[in-house]
Amino acid sequence: MHVRSLFVLFSFMATSAWADSGGGGENSGGYSWIDNQGAGGPDFEWTEPGADATNLELGDDETREVDFPENFRFNFFGETYSSIFICSNGWVTFVPTGDTTYEPTSAFPDNAGPMGMLAPIYTDLNPSINNRQQPNGVWVHMDGDEFLVTWRAPFYGREDLGQVEAQLRLTQTDIINFNYRQIPGASGFTISAGLEATDRLDGVSSFFGQIQNAVTNYAVAWEYDPQDVNRAPQLTELADRAGLTGVPVQFTVTASDEDGDTLRYSM
């Protein structure tokens, strides 16, 4: 059973892009993004799944684990993974999940969804619906040294609008690309795009809301720079103190922060 809320944070009016900013979103996990509407942004790049692609044959609200090829590994928030969990609803994660959530409730980090999401188009899709002109489904395949996941499916219950076509590209140099060949507009569905750490403490969105006009040939590139990770402050070790019962012991607490952030102390 599918029950969809009408909650919307904001919506974009767009014909070929979701946003006008061109990029941004750097967070404490070291990730930032830029789209093909900004200077120096990525080219839209689409590779159609061919005979070498595997159709996962995912049903509605279904997730499946897929092993990377033997010579492929991917680093996500500083951890290296050899497999990926792919959901029919436009997202993947690198940690086991029994959650096939289809309704985003907030921008990333999203505490209501599965942990550690990497989401080109987190929304309610149904790839199990047959389409005679162009089959629906979720495919995986390698394109050179890149691992690709392709979603082609309508919004749940809105086959009349046509298909969503989105593609995730992963390279072993920690680069992530989202490519969107088409997304129908005015679907009434909330869409979330972005990523978050497996502990949900860090996360950043390239989009959250509803799309009023159709989107075509849109691309977002993500880069990971571990130098941008916000490091935790370090407490200066306290020396042992001897004291007498009933006599207060006084000491001064100090700490340092490599990022130069302001520190506040509390007990």
In angstroms, rounded to a whole number, what is the distance separating the alpha carbons of residues 235 and 257?
9
User: What tokens appear for 90 in the block?
Assistant: 């436009």
Residue 189 lies in a domain: yes
Across 20-25, average pLDDT: 56
Name the residue range of residue 189's domain: 11-228
Categorize the per-residue pLDDT at 6 as very low, low, confident or very high, splitting at 50, 70 and 90. very low
Across 68-82, average pLDDT: 93
3-state helix/strand/coil string of the chain = CCCCCCCCCCEECCCCCCCCCCEECCCCCCEEEEECCCCCCCCCCCCCCCCCCEECCCCCCCEEEEECCCCCCEEECCEEECEEEEECCCCEECCCCCCCCCCCCCCCCCCCCCCCEEEEEECCECCCCCCCCCCCEEEEEEECCEEEEEEEECECCCHHHCCEEEEEEEECCCCEEEEEEEECCCCCCCEEEEEECCCCCCEEEEEEEEECCCEEEEEEEEEECHHHCCCCCEECCCCCCCCCCCCCCCCCCCEECCCCCCCCCCC
Residue 4 lies in a domain: no
Categorize the per-residue pLDDT at 28 as very low, low, confident or very high, splitting at 50, 70 and 90. low
Residue 114 pLDDT > 90, yes or no? no
96 preceded by cis ω (within 30°)? no
Q: Which pLDDT score, from 0 to 100, does residue 237 have?
A: 79
Residue 158 lies in a domain: yes
Residue 231 pLDDT > 60, yes or no? no
Residue 257 lies in a domain: no
Residue 80 pLDDT > 60, yes or no? yes
Categorize the per-residue pLDDT at 8 as very low, low, confident or very high, splitting at 50, 70 and 90. very low
In angstroms, rounded to a whole number, what is the distance separating the alpha carbons of residues 119 and 238?
44
Residue 263 lies in a domain: no
Residue 155 lies in a domain: yes
- Of the two residues 261 and 90, the one the predictor is more confident about is 90
Categorize the per-residue pLDDT at 3 as very low, low, confident or very high, splitting at 50, 70 and 90. very low
In the chain, how many domains are there?
1
Residue 157 pLDDT > 50, yes or no? yes
Residue 5 lies in a domain: no
Categorize the per-residue pLDDT at 131 as very low, low, confident or very high, splitting at 50, 70 and 90. low
Residue 175 lies in a domain: yes
Q: Which pLDDT score, from 0 to 100, does residue 185 have?
A: 94
Residue 23 pLDDT > 80, yes or no? no
User: Which tens digits make up the pLDDT trace of 173-214?
Assistant: 888 999 999 999 999 999 999 999 998 888 999 999 999 999
* φ, ψ at 117 (rounded to 5°): -75, 145
pTM of the model: 0.78
User: Which tens digits make up the pLDDT trace of 92-111?
Assistant: 999 988 777 778 989 998 88
- Of the two residues 236 and 196, the one the predictor is more confident about is 196
Q: Tell me the pLDDT of the chain averaged across its residues.
A: 83
Each as own residue / partner, the long-range contacts of residues 70-75 (CB below 8 Å, 24 or more positions apart, any chain) are 72/142, 72/145, 72/147, 72/172, 73/172, 74/147, 74/170, 74/172, 74/174, 75/172, 75/174, 75/224
Q: Which pLDDT score, from 0 to 100, does residue 141 have?
A: 96
